[in-house]
Copies of this chain bind each other. A is one copy, B any other.
Amino acid sequence: MKLKELAEQLGLSQTTVSRALNGYPEVNEATRERVNKAALKFGYSANANARRLAMGRVGAIGIVVPIHSSERFGPHTSEFLSGLAERLSRDEIDFLITPLINNDEISAYRRLISSKRVDAMIVSHPSLVDERVAVLTEAQFPFVLHGRTNIDAPHAWLDIDNKGAFYQATSHLLDLGHKHIAMIDGLKGFTFSEHREEGYRDALNERSISIDPHFIVHDCFSDEIGFRETQRFLSLRPHPTAILAGSMMTALGVSRAIRAKGYQLGKEVSIIAHDDVFPYLNASNMVPAMTTTRSSIRAAGTRIAEMLVRLLDGETPETIHEVWPVELILRQSSGPPVIPAK
């Protein structure tokens, strides 16, 4: 069933039917109702391609997901997308996921722009100087950045206070009396990793505690990395009495390694993890309950969707950005250091 046929059925012109369906004012309410009823009855729904061709607007936003790299389609991404979806579905905007294979991100973004298949894009995991952001702003293509980058050009973004989070966590451990604090951070180069490290370093520097490079790891977030690196940490002399974990996945591995060594969490070795709030992995349910810096990545997705809608409604990107504070939630996995009973 196409518009033309529907119009014929109703004895109206395509124009009127189209307008009725799209809520334009210049059509009689009675007519509109008649049209709506008929559309429902015949199961008519506009051909999206034709519609977009005619309007120039698409009703979809684009996301490029690298599928082979380490920041792959993991639990963070899916929580984030889930949050996005929550808001975007209200406006019937769906999203187009372009998987990236050859790792040529920039050209993937370029193609997506010129193919006119999306109205806007979301870019995640920025580096300190992110070329994608540069390309998109230059092309005047609307987008929201999840994270921060140092590119000058005005653009919309939302980020959490990663630096503050790790500063807080580190300071808290220092307050508890820890002198040797290790960190398993995200991959080098990403802004969030750098910011976290900054927070960590600032806290240590503030107390004039020297920073041991062996205590800093940059890698992907996984149980395995957490386990392996913690084993390494614990074999050092002196070993760290507290570990910052960049994600809950990492934290699982860290906890495992601590326990494997016969230590108790929050006693011989403390741990504070960053928690993106996964519905299936709850920090407060762990044993012992895990102290975390907490910020829902899902909520961030929802908010970013909100920003995107504002952007598409014509709001200027300059005014759209937010930094979310991160709360430190004290639970049992962090406590004053205890000398291991030898």
Known A48-B117, A114-B45, A282-B223: A88·B78 in contact at CB below 8 Å:
no
Nearest chain-B residue to A55 (Cβ)? B49
The interface on chain A, measured as residues whose beta carbon lies within 8 A of the other chain's beta carbons, has a size of 62
Q: Cβ of B252 and Cβ of A49 under 8 Å apart?
A: no
A49–B43 CB distance below 8 A: no
A111 partner residues in chain B, CB cutoff 8 A:
45
Q: Which of A48-67 contact B (CB under 8 A)?
A: 48-50, 52-53, 58, 60, 65, 67
Q: Is A286 an interface residue (CB 8 A)?
A: yes
Instruction: Give, as a whole number of angstroms, the nearest-CB distance from A209 to chain B.
Output: 31
Question: Chain A: residues with CB nearer than 8 A to chain B?
Answer: 1, 43-50, 52-53, 58, 60, 65, 67, 72-75, 77-79, 81-82, 85-86, 88-90, 94-101, 110-111, 114-117, 220-224, 227, 249, 252-253, 256, 259-260, 279-282, 285-287
For A44, the chain B residues whose CB sits under 8 A away are: 114
Copies of this subunit: 2
Show 16 A/B contacts (Cβ-Cβ < 8 Å), sorted by A.
A45-B110, A47-B53, A65-B85, A67-B82, A67-B86, A75-B78, A85-B97, A90-B101, A222-B279, A222-B282, A223-B281, A223-B282, A252-B281, A256-B286, A256-B287, A259-B287
Q: Are B95 and A280 in contact (CB under 8 A)?
A: no
Complexed CA–CA distance, A149 and B150 (Å):
52
Check A95–B96 contact: CB distance below 8 A: yes
Tell me whether A98 and B90 are in contact (CB under 8 A). Answer: no
Pick the residue among B74, B85, B86, B223 that contacts A78 (CB under 8 A). B74
